[in-house]
């Protein structure tokens, strides 16, 4: 019965991973081809490209899930867990930060603030994005590195399941690291997302009210584009909050030794990786048009194939 449950969990995980891989690969290909044509990307497009590429790379942790689920740690050893856990934390936390910076960049692009500081940021947005990416990689690497010193397979374990699942050294350092990890890579990105989204929504509401009061016919296409961006950002934030709440509550349960919530945490993380590219494709004009072209080409190919076979 346990084996059947593990197989079903594995099957569900593979399906979610394939969806995530398809969506993120599509985003990466669209912007990569665009870069080959134009030799440049917009600041927000560069962030989304990094986000998609990191989401593709993180799918390698599916191997870890197989080892964890089927208790195969004796075949892989301690080094495998260190590499996989480091990679999972580094890639996932970087991905969270890329979305936070994406919200901030859209805030700079949409909101008009009469401040030299903000005007300077808007003028140097391309350089700013590169700096933000480098800071993100540095911070994520710094918080992921200590994990390799907290992993130790307990050779005196009474069962293979305990050996493969309880491999973290729990202590004062682990709790301090967990607190820093939550603050630097979960709460701070959320704060930036919320402030940026609130700024965009408030600006759009104020701008719309002014246009109605002055009875000026605004460029509806531009305003609709900004509204679509605001809706996309809010959807990404809601998805992020749901993921973070699940992960933090799961970590609390594990810390209190009440129940092993690791499988739930992994599923929620994979759902985030699968749904976030869908939101980006729907909310971004270039990605949405590219996806429509892909569907049209696929439809024509199916019709041609059907006609040939008939």
Q: pLDDT tier at 182 (50, 70, 90 boundaries)?
A: confident
Mean pLDDT of 245-254: 61
Q: Percent of the chain, pLDDT > 70?
A: 83
Of the ranges 6-10, 59-63, 83-87, 95-99, which is most confident? 95-99
Residue 17 pLDDT greater than 50, yes or no: yes
Reference 232, options 180, 297, 269, 286; nearest CA is 286
For range 290-309, the mean pLDDT: 81
Q: Global pTM?
A: 0.86
- Which position has the higher pLDDT, 124 or 159? 124
Other beta carbons within 10 angstroms of residue 18's beta carbon come to 12
Domain residue spans of the chain: 2-211+218-296
Quote the pLDDT of residue 256.
47
| CA-to-CA separations, 231 to 103, 112, 197, 274, 291, in angstroms, rounded | 11, 19, 9, 18, 19
State mean pLDDT over 87-98: 91
Burial class of residue 27, CB neighbours in 10 A (0-12, 13-18, 19+): buried
Q: For position 251, what pLDDT does the model report?
A: 54
Rounded mean pLDDT of the chain? Answer: 82
pLDDT class for 79, splitting at 50, 70, 90?
Answer: confident
Q: Yes or no: is domain 2-211+218-296 CATH 3.90.550.10?
A: no
Q: How many CA atoms lie within 13 A of 100 on its CB side?
A: 23
- Over residues 55-79, mean pLDDT: 81
Q: What's the confidence (pLDDT) of residue 68?
A: 78
The answer to which of 100-104, 207-211, 265-269 has the lowest mean pLDDT is 207-211
Predicted confidence (pLDDT) at residue 1 exceeds the cutoff of 60: no
pLDDT value of residue 187: 87
Asked if residue 260 has pLDDT above 70, the reply is no
Q: What is the pLDDT of residue 257?
A: 45
């Amino acid at each position: 019965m346990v084996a059947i449950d593990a197989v079903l969990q594995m099957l569900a995980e593979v399906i979610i991973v394939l969806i995530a891989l398809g969506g993120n690969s599509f985003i990466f290909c669209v912007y990569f081809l665009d870069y080959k044509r134009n030799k440049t990307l917009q600041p927000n497009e560069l962030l989304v490209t990094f986000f998609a590429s990191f989401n593709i790379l993180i799918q390698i942790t599916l191997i870890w899930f197989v080892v964890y689920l089927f208790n195969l740690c004796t075949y892989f050893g301690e080094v495998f867990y260190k590499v996989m856990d480091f990679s999972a934390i580094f890639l996932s936390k970087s991905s969270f930060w890329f979305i936070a910076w994406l919200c901030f960049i859209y805030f700079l692009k949409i909101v008009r603030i009469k401040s030299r500081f903000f005007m300077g940021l808007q003028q140097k947005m391309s350089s700013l994005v590169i700096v933000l990416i480098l800071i993100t990689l540095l911070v994520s690497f710094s918080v992921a590195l200590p994990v390799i010193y907290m992993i130790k397979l307990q050779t005196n374990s009474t069962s293979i399941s305990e050996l493969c699942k309880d491999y973290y050294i729990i202590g004062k350092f682990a709790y301090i690291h967990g607190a820093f990890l939550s603050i630097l890579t979960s709460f701070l990105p959320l704060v930036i997302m919320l402030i940026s989204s609130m700024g965009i929504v408030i600006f759009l509401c104020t701008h719309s009210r002014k246009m109605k009061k002055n009875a000026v016919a605004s460029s509806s296409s531009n305003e609709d584009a900004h509204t679509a961006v605001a809706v996309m950002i809010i959807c990404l934030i809601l998805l992020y909050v749901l993921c973070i709440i699940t992960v933090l509550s799961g970590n609390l349960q594990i810390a209190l030794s009440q129940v092993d919530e690791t499988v739930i945490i992994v599923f929620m993380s994979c759902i985030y990786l699968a749904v976030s590219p869908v939101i980006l494709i729907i909310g971004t004009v270039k990605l949405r048009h590219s996806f429509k072209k892909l569907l049209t080409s696929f439809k024509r190919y199916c019709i041609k194939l059907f006609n040939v076979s008939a």
